[in-house]
Structure 1
């Protein structure tokens, strides 16, 4: 993964010795917003913003999904990093189109010359101010959800006011236990830290299975951002987290409701094209040499994502 320290790149992994073997994720370093406020530094304009993503990363995947759902593809262009994240961190297969950079950390130091922190995706870049707006996925998807509605005419709302309290509760449950929970399993360097994360992960999945047996989506009949935040972990689970991150108590395929729910989301218009299993498997198995030193990438599993999901029969 590596990080920048006062603008200088260092190839260093997470120091889990300080946390008893537990993986602790670093907060995002850029947290500004695109808003419709006439006084705002970052305002919604077609062609102004550029999104840097990895097709392997679940956090970046959220932003690609909201960009697709909200009709922003023609307004916000995208550069995809290589799935291989090695000694130089995220790299571009070819020089990226704005500056000819070959490493994502060069984009970070272009925004802040003495930046200190992890170099992560997604990154929302502003061409007008020549800076990073945000590298926090949960906030980028909120911007995509509403800030550009006047531009696109797409008023679909995945964070409606009357459901925000329920959505926030689900996000607060899913993030530590599932979204970050799989990483807490995979990056743990002590048995106790791994088992703590493992227990929390599968307890949370069991609770979701029970809930989704009678509820179409997380918040009843409304498809919200909470569903998409969960989906990007579920779609990677059987392909990489079961084996690579030792999350092997059950597969998503072993949860009837969760599996059908995941398939329904995958089959929605435009979503399958945001999922790339080559990038997903290649990144995790090839890049994390501390976990998989041979860098051998599994051929399987075969995932059944196209068959009927039957979720339309679920009602409150």
Structure 2
């Protein structure tokens, strides 16, 4: 697997294929369900990792699967962890916070200066967390411990097994399915949420397929394009498919309005991508759309319009998920998102200046 991001022949962005693809199952010879055995290593900035965070929360697995959050700045050595505390009180606090939910997100909606925040900032629970399992300094240490000869990129998310000290899976779509599979149901009280109901699975898979290629990955193909021809082709494609999503949500909203009445609160309780319930399709689309106005418009030059100005039904769907569901709102950290993209992609933004806007990052519902 190549570490190269773009094809030198045409300047097109190429995404790396994940290499750790195991599952967790009572019938698996190694990876069986257990309490506090498995840990998620994530970046709050990364949309692929964000998917797994939302699912972990929705499935009530915060107390079952531990969490480690990398620093928002991605440098030449990859993702890093904060320094591990040496005093017992800090260690106990670290483990408690890491298992129970992650880092503080209470200030993520404030528009405040970024210039005073250095790339090597070390603010516990704000910039990231330490690694309480191995006290590793870098995410790459997990990969090299799992596979000493690994020579591809060190990506998030990582689903880690603390018993065998190895990576179970690093493909976000498969981690989503693992978390939703029910293998951890014995450890939680509420098992009612199913993000991939059998009767909707075909529709969810079909929706995910074109959304992934044209929107989730489409913004990256536009943003990392290294030729004007490639960029223009990809950015047009992104907006063509956003138009498709907008029409889908418009039709869905009008049907719900007809069913429940124009002023009914029932509308937003059923306003989702597939069927009339929250599914994996909403999660996978959300992590791109919530980043669109704050980052992709300016940083990836996806600026034909914004979500808030050009797509009223997508915008309503986005705000409904954010403001009416803690699993979406509390896992969305706009500071990590904006600082990561604008400070880590120096080829795109060589001065590493982080824009203050849009203000607000997400509008009220």
- Separation (CA, whole Å) in 2 of partners of 1:92 and 1:199: 37
CA contact (8 A) 1:218 1:227 kept: yes
Which runs of 4 or more aligned residues in structure 1 lie more than 4 Å from their structure 2 counterparts after TM superposition?
A: none
Q: Quote the residue 1:17 is aligned against.
A: 8
Q: Quote the residue 2:330 is aligned against.
A: 273
Q: Quote the residue 1:76 is aligned against.
A: 65
- Separation (CA, whole Å) in 2 of partners of 1:196 and 1:149: 45
CA contact (8 A) 1:34 1:40 kept: no
Describe the SS at the equivalent of 2:179: helix
- Separation (CA, whole Å) in 2 of partners of 1:304 and 1:53: 22
Gaps of 5+ in 2: 85-130, 253-270
- Separation (CA, whole Å) in 2 of partners of 1:266 and 1:304: 12
- Separation (CA, whole Å) in 2 of partners of 1:304 and 1:183: 20
- Separation (CA, whole Å) in 1 of partners of 2:285 and 2:52: 13
CA contact (8 A) 1:29 1:117 kept: no
Post-superposition shift, 1:272? 1.0
* Residue 261 in structure 1 maps to residue 317 in structure 2: yes
Q: Quote the residue 2:265 is aligned against.
A: none
The partner residue of 2:39 within 37, 43, 50 is: 50
Q: Quote the residue 1:185 is aligned against.
A: 222
* Residue 63 in structure 1 maps to residue 52 in structure 2: yes
Q: Quote the residue 1:246 is aligned against.
A: 301
Describe the SS at the equivalent of 1:221: coil
Describe the SS at the equivalent of 1:133: strand
TM-score (norm 1): 0.90
Gaps of 5+ in 1: 6-11, 309-316
* Residue 213 in structure 1 maps to residue 269 in structure 2: no
TM-score (norm 2): 0.79
- Give a deviation string over 1:83-125, Cα, whole Å, max 9, x none: 1001111111224211111111111001111112111000000
- Separation (CA, whole Å) in 1 of partners of 2:76 and 2:64: 33
Q: Quote the residue 1:297 is aligned against.
A: 354
Q: Quote the residue 2:209 is aligned against.
A: 172
Greater strand share, structure number: 1
Describe the SS at the equivalent of 1:75: coil
- Separation (CA, whole Å) in 2 of partners of 1:22 and 1:285: 21
- Separation (CA, whole Å) in 2 of partners of 1:233 and 1:36: 33
CA contact (8 A) 2:6 2:12 kept: no
- Separation (CA, whole Å) in 2 of partners of 1:40 and 1:160: 27
RMSD: 1.5
- Give a deviation string over 1:238-290, Cα, whole Å, max 9, x none: 00000000000111102100000001111213321101111000000000000
Which structure's relative contact order is higher, taking Cα pairs within 8 Å and 6+ residues apart?
A: 2
Post-superposition shift, 1:134? 0.5
Q: Give the aligned length.
A: 297
- Separation (CA, whole Å) in 2 of partners of 1:238 and 1:28: 28
- Choose 263-272 or 165-174, whichever is displaced more: 263-272
- Separation (CA, whole Å) in 2 of partners of 1:160 and 1:239: 32
Post-superposition shift, 1:136? 0.4
CA contact (8 A) 1:59 1:137 kept: yes
Describe the SS at the equivalent of 1:31: coil
- Separation (CA, whole Å) in 1 of partners of 2:246 and 2:360: 19
